[in-house]
Chains A and B, each alone.
Chain A
Amino acid sequence: MIPDTLLPSPQDEEVENLHPEIDPLDERAAVDPALFEDMRAEPVFARAVLTSPLHLAVAAESRTNNWTVWNGFTTPATLTDLGDEYRALRGAAALMDISPLVKYRIAGRDARPFLDRLVTRDLGALEVDRALHVVFCEGNGFVLGDGLLFRLDDDEYRLVTEETHLAWLLDSAVGFRVRIEDVSATLAVLSLQGPLAALCLAEAGVANIAELLPFAARWTEIAGMPAYVSRTGASGDLGYEIWIDPDDAPHAWRFLLEKSGPYGLTPAGFDLRELARLETGFPRAGKDYLSAFAAIDAADARTPFDLWVEPLVDFGKPLFNGREALRRLVLVEPRRRVVPLVVDGLEPARFAAVHANGRLAGTATSIGFSPALAANIALATVDAAALAASDLAVRAERREGVSVREIVLPARVLTEPAWNNPRRLAIPAPLKA
């Protein structure tokens, strides 16, 4: 008996006759190369594992093969060694690929009114080629996200955020003549931070870089490729961000390393960015606070007053999202606050729980060992009532070999950022360390 599978299936014959005009034995027949292209249509958002346009250039610098994920993008945690990278950042300059940031282009004749209603801050002072740190809230005054808002042209803006907000932006766009595009995939970003950042750019041929004001930006050329350079970056020090076409970005990366390598420019990974951010005390959306829509427990949603000492809320504007709620919230003391902590102890420790008077009073959401302070630092969400307590402490885990020991380390609220160099705002930017 012959198994069914060995019999020619009736369908095969039909297939053979489908294209009688094609002779499969004709070797000289003209072939359309398009036939051999991968035609599987890929939905734009179907891909879950994303790589930055700089991925191969960055991967070439990796000595650790230590990768992490940032907004779905494969990102180096460290490229060489966190200590080396840190020394470069604080002593010379570090170059990081921050393309995984979410970038929106907001353009149209109503772009300004749209943004005026979207963000809590007054945008009157935002000139073309300038950037502002903005916060946007939902109707109850809870923060959805924060980011950097660039004004590229009279009616064109770029909003750079940590998390995606497209749905909220589109919902908010109803009634405005405004176009909102997610340009994350078509715009690569390099972050060049450190005391020698201006020098590195000058070496790469960027003219008059020292004259660029803090939070200002301008178009320039790097190795003949157009690039938009802004004096921004959350490192607490001099720093620039380079906004560039994704096709040009790997060349710019290599060019910068080649030209400025001798001055100590070092490629660095995501861990360094997090450490620098922690030393400056900037909370990160999704890590130190939850977007109001992501906070399942309403107590996890934060108001701008909980998050920032200068919360960038301008009640002079007649209308913005959350205005009425924030007017009420500004009158009451925040219940919880996000504060920077410094924790005693001379070696890196892992901790999350923050105690006051022996009772749980909060959670450290970002932790790290700050070489600048030679201490553990953290950003923690702490009950406002507990902030005044004298005996703030964290429960830390200390690993010894494979065993773990729980120890209580005293903590203090940090009044000054761990790193805030006046170079950050110096005019003109220093070209020497």
Chain B
Amino acid sequence: MAWGGRKYDAIVIGGGHNGLVAAACLGRAHRRVLLVEARDRLGGAAATAEILPGYRVSAVAHLLEGFPRRLERELKLGKHGLRYAARNIPTVALDRDGKHLLLPRSRKEFSAFAAHLPKDAVAYRDYISRLQTQAALVAPLFAEAPPKPGDAEALRQLLRRLVWRAELGGGATLRRLMRILPESIGDLLDAEFESPLLKGALAFDATLGGSEGPYAPGTAFRAVCREAMRMQGQGVRLPQGGMGSVVDALAAAVSAQRGEIRLGARVARILVEDGVAAGVEMEDGFIVRAPLVVSSAGPRNTLLELLGAARLETGPAMQLRAPAPGGTSAKVNLALEGAPQFAGLAPELHGARLVISPSLEELGHANAACREGDFASDPVMEVTIPSMSDGTLAPAGHHVLSVLVHHVPYDIEGGWPARREAFVQRVVRTLEHYAPGIGDLMIAGEILTPPDIETKYGLAGGDWHQGDVRLDRLFGFRPAPAFGRYGTPVPGLYLCGAGSHPGGGVTGLPGFLAAEVIAAETSVKRTSVGQLDEREPA
């Protein structure tokens, strides 16, 4: 493989899924792309790891929620080997007493739900339809690059479209959306529902991946954002072979566009010549030149370290100092020598997304504990058993369990080395309560605390959003106002990671939209990505 001799049009820093998507899309736009990844494998937090030989599981991210179909088609990911083990995975809120709650997706499931929670059924239907109308309003904003700051015409068009869409939806939607912007999901749910379990599960979804508790202002809007993000994809999906297979398909797509991928190549510095991005200097001093440098690394890492705050004006550099990312989720992956039995859960629902968040109070306690640098006595978590629908992950009859534990601090009192074991015990104890005997089935386990996720998978602070998804850090303000449209004050240097609009999660959207903006702003050649612009996103 040629290293220095070849000329590149673009260098993509970081081989996470967003970096790969950006590289593949730039390749489609006829750029010769070099992708450099510091680690020995691609994918970042989207990876399949082996717990034991024969037991494989999605290491960090474990569900595909908002991966756009458009992207799948454009990059021909199906051809490159992406298969789904399960589509449209249901969500079940696990109840302490075995009266689990399946969040309904169909009329039939709704009648069961209504029988279970007669008082909340109508409210739930209203809530979901309202959430979906609001999310439908926001969703197109997530599927397109935010307007250029200072471009009044683009902003006017965007707002006009937004208002039009709202008017078509009855006009009240926008007003209602405005009203809930500062609201907390806890207050919203308390006003409408009785069942603590339902409230706990809905609030869990709204706060997952963030550092706020259910009663924090702005979390109601996060629920809308989450739903809007889901609308980008087609239901919750489970890729066959774990998250790693998404990354493999993306890597194949990059190669299909004649992109070059270099592993174990850590960038030390982004080179700037005459105020314009000129290439990168690798850690071993090797210099690769390209007029375009696209970074999927965190915005702070990219701009304050690789580029250097000294190469930015004071104002933009200051804007980046504020959102210090801090992950609040841990991952526990378990290998089981047998099928776990969740008490009271129908066998066909064992493949569902199981949410353990019994009430708003417990979610709030977990958040409070996390803020004080401790994990909760009753951890709140999201459990999947991917091997239920994907036989390739574990030997027949054996299973892997993937647990995302929410509200786990990055800095823990006493330090993680000392508290790890206690943490695993607590997670297993909680699981044991819902699935008696699961402890005896355990043959191996892997625990990834937020610092582990940082060191093993390269997520700064263990935060998959590269900076909280907050009202003031969305759209054109993500990660900061000066970097809102993937571009930076340095011409030729772009951001394409989760720190940019629309945010974290295995969606590929930041990479995709960044490539779109780059192709439009640096259109030296005829591009095929340009054609995408004409199509109005769904």
Contact of B313 with A319 in the complex, beta carbons under 8 Å: yes
A323 CB within 8 Å of chain B:
yes
Q: How far, in whole Å, are A411 and B318 apart by their CA atoms in the complex?
A: 45
Interface positions of B from 294 to 351, Cβ below 8 Å from A: 304, 308-311, 313-318, 321
Contact of A174 with B321 in the complex, beta carbons under 8 Å: yes
Query: A138: nearest residue on chain B (CB-CB)?
Result: B315
Contact of B311 with A319 in the complex, beta carbons under 8 Å: yes
Residue of A117, A138, A172, A318 near B274 (CB, 8 A) is: A318
Residue of A113, A174, A324 near B489 (CB, 8 A) is: A324
Q: How far, in whole Å, are A318 and B277 apart by their CA atoms in the complex?
A: 12
Question: A95-128 toward B: CB 8 Å interface, digit per residue (1/0)?
Answer: 0000000000000001001100110000000000
Minimum CB–CB distance from B409 to chain A (whole Å) comes to 26
Contact of B315 with A110 in the complex, beta carbons under 8 Å: no
A117 contact set on B, CB distance < 8 A: 310, 313-314
Interface positions of A from 115 to 149, Cβ below 8 Å from B: 117-118, 138-139
Residue of A138, A319, A322 near B275 (CB, 8 A) is: A319
B309 contact set on A, CB distance < 8 A: 174-176
Residue of A113, A171, A318, A324 near B314 (CB, 8 A) is: A171
CB < 8 Å A-B pair total: 43
Minimum CB–CB distance from B484 to chain A (whole Å) comes to 14
Contact of A176 with B310 in the complex, beta carbons under 8 Å: yes
Minimum CB–CB distance from B477 to chain A (whole Å) comes to 16
Minimum CB–CB distance from A330 to chain B (whole Å) comes to 17
A168 CB within 8 Å of chain B:
yes
Q: How far, in whole Å, are A60 and B489 apart by their CA atoms in the complex?
A: 56
Query: A322: nearest residue on chain B (CB-CB)?
Result: B313
Contact of B317 with A174 in the complex, beta carbons under 8 Å: yes
A323 contact set on B, CB distance < 8 A: 313
B308 contact set on A, CB distance < 8 A: 175
Q: How far, in whole Å, are A287 and B310 apart by their CA atoms in the complex?
A: 32
Interface size class for chain A? Answer: 20 to 34
A191 CB within 8 Å of chain B:
no
Contact of B313 with A113 in the complex, beta carbons under 8 Å: no
Contact of A139 with B274 in the complex, beta carbons under 8 Å: no
A321 CB within 8 Å of chain B:
yes
B304 contact set on A, CB distance < 8 A: 174-175
A174 contact set on B, CB distance < 8 A: 304, 309, 317-318, 321
Interface positions of A from 287 to 310, Cβ below 8 Å from B: none
Minimum CB–CB distance from B314 to chain A (whole Å) comes to 4
Minimum CB–CB distance from B162 to chain A (whole Å) comes to 27
Q: How far, in whole Å, are A114 and B308 apart by their CA atoms in the complex?
A: 12
Minimum CB–CB distance from A298 to chain B (whole Å) comes to 15
Known: A174-B304, A174-B321, A175-B304. A321 touches B310 (CB 8 A): no
Minimum CB–CB distance from A232 to chain B (whole Å) comes to 27
Contact of A175 with B317 in the complex, beta carbons under 8 Å: yes
Query: B276: nearest residue on chain A (CB-CB)?
Result: A318
Contact of A139 with B316 in the complex, beta carbons under 8 Å: yes
A118 contact set on B, CB distance < 8 A: 314
Q: How far, in whole Å, are A139 and B321 apart by their CA atoms in the complex?
A: 16
Contact of A138 with B314 in the complex, beta carbons under 8 Å: yes
A324 contact set on B, CB distance < 8 A: 489
User: Which residue, of A168, A172, A174, has the highest number of chain B Cβ atoms within 10 A?
Assistant: A174
Query: A325: nearest residue on chain B (CB-CB)?
Result: B313
A321 contact set on B, CB distance < 8 A: 313-315
Minimum CB–CB distance from A136 to chain B (whole Å) comes to 10
Minimum CB–CB distance from A289 to chain B (whole Å) comes to 20
Question: A418-429 toward B: CB 8 Å interface, digit per residue (1/0)?
Answer: 000000000000
Can you list 14 residue pairs at the A/B interface with Cβ under 8 Å?
A113-B310, A117-B310, A139-B313, A139-B316, A174-B309, A174-B317, A175-B308, A175-B309, A176-B310, A318-B274, A319-B311, A320-B313, A321-B313, A321-B315
User: Could you list which residues of chain A lie within 8 angstroms of chain B, going by C-beta atoms?
Assistant: 110, 113-114, 117-118, 138-139, 168, 171-172, 174-176, 318-324
Closest 3 CB pairs of A and B: A175-B309, A139-B315, A318-B275
